[in-house]
Every structure is written in structure tokens, then in C-alpha cells.
Amino acid sequence: MKKIILALAGVGALVAAAVPIIRSSYDEPEFESVHASKPFEIRAYKARIAAQTSVRASSLREATTLGFERLAGYIFGGNKDSGGTSQKIAMTTPVESIPAGENSYTVVFTMPPEWTLRELPEPNDPSVVLRAEEPKLVATARFSGSASERDVSELSKELMEYIAEQGYVADSEVAIAQYDPPWTPSVMRRNEMLVELADANESGSREATTE
């Protein structure tokens, strides 16, 4: 029994050492921190190119799995360039899942920074769409464990309070960003909630003008 325990401890130590190494090998969207108060942070994200797909699913987990498979198919060669040749595109992190109505989600990969929208090959799957995103301000809340609607509901309320305290208003649905592969131990997983922001005063002015 002692040998089994030691073996399990050794495996655990190897996994714990591997997770940060694996994370560091992937590009992430570039940003500058504007304000941080753990587990919350406001970030100014730079422009990026994203690949996205819309999926129908009964849960966040199912949507993320379906969307990941489609987008992974694109970057692993399910595409063609102007010469009709497929290209391999490096994996990035995180995988973002965004609610888009009842049982509907949008799943997003960030494209590596060396690619431009014009240079990226065309997806073979018509449900995969490439688009350019402008710089944006985003509020985040970091958490570990699983990433389900039920598990993040309370933290989502706290994030909205943090956003209001910093003088902003939410300007998007709450997206869930997952940074680690499925085999990562629950306690070591890095997940984040992402909400795009608008200035509260500017938002009020737009509403007044509209009225």
C-alpha cells in the first residue's frame, strides 16, 4: 500500500509540474492589466484574429466539446490556402464559450499573432468563421475546478458588483474561458469569466440620446 501511495504521489507531482509548462507553451490573447483585485481583473485586450463557431448544446460543457472539435479540426489542417494546400496553425489558449441564446453558444479560438486575417487559410467547415476583433476592455474573474453554469453563478454576481464598483457596465454575455486540457486536476485548472465593458457614463449618455 505504501508503494502505491508513493507512486500516486509521484504521478501527482509530475502532473503538477507539467501543467504550468504546458500552459506556457501556448500563446494567449495580449492584454494590459488596468486594475486587479483577486480574483477579479480589468484588462485592456489588444486587437486579435479569432476563429469561431456556433453550436447548439444543452450545456456549457457539451458546447465547449463540440466547438473545440470543430475549431481544432480547422487549425490541424481542415483548411486550404490560396494555393489549395492545407496549413497547420498553432494551438492557443484559452477556449472561450459564450452563451448566445437558449441552448446556443459561440466557441472561440484566438489565432496566433503571426497570422493576419488575409493570410489565414479558408476553413473547410463552413460553420467555422474567421473575424478580426478590435481592442476591447474586459472584466475577468478567475476560478478553478469545473466550468459549468451552476458552478460559476455566484462568482458571476460578484463580478458584476466589481464591474459596477470600478465605474463600468457589462456590455456582453458572460463568456467562460478554459485554459487547461481535460486531464488537468480540478484544483489546478485555470478558468475565467470574461465580460466586455463599457464606461458607465458613456453608456448612460448613449441611452439618453436614444430616448
Tens of pLDDT, residue by residue over 147-173, are 765 567 788 999 999 999 999 999 999
Could you say which DSSP state residue 201 is in? H
Domain membership of residue 204 (yes or no) is: yes
Considering only residues 184 and 195, tell me which one the structure prediction assigns the higher pLDDT. Answer: 195
- Report yes or no on 184 lying in a domain: yes
Distance (Å, whole) CA 211 – CA 207: 6
Considering its fold, how many domains does the chain have in total?
1
Burial of 199 (0-12, 13-18, 19+ CB in 10 A): middle
In a domain? residue 21: no
Domain span at residue 120 reads 27-210
Q: Give the CA distances from residue 32 to residues 125, 181, 197, 200, in Å, rounded to whole numbers and listed in that order.
A: 34, 25, 15, 21
How is the chain split among helix, strand and coil, in percent rounded to 5? 35, 35, 35
Residue range 91-124, pLDDT digits in tens: 999 999 999 988 999 999 999 999 999 999 999 9
What does the pLDDT average to over 76-97? 96
Residue 18 lies inside a defined structural domain of this protein: no
- Whether the pTM exceeds 0.85: the reply is no
- Nearest one of 141, 133, 134, 62 to 97, comparing CA atoms: 62
In a domain, 2, yes or no: no
Q: Is residue 10 part of a domain?
A: no
Cα–Cα distance, 51 to 72 (Å, whole number)? 10
Mean pLDDT of the chain: 85
Does residue 200 surpass a pLDDT of 90?
no
Q: Judge contact between 85 and 31, C-beta under 8 A.
A: no
Do the domain assignments include residue 175?
yes
Q: How confident is the model at residue 199 (pLDDT cuts 50, 70, 90)?
A: confident
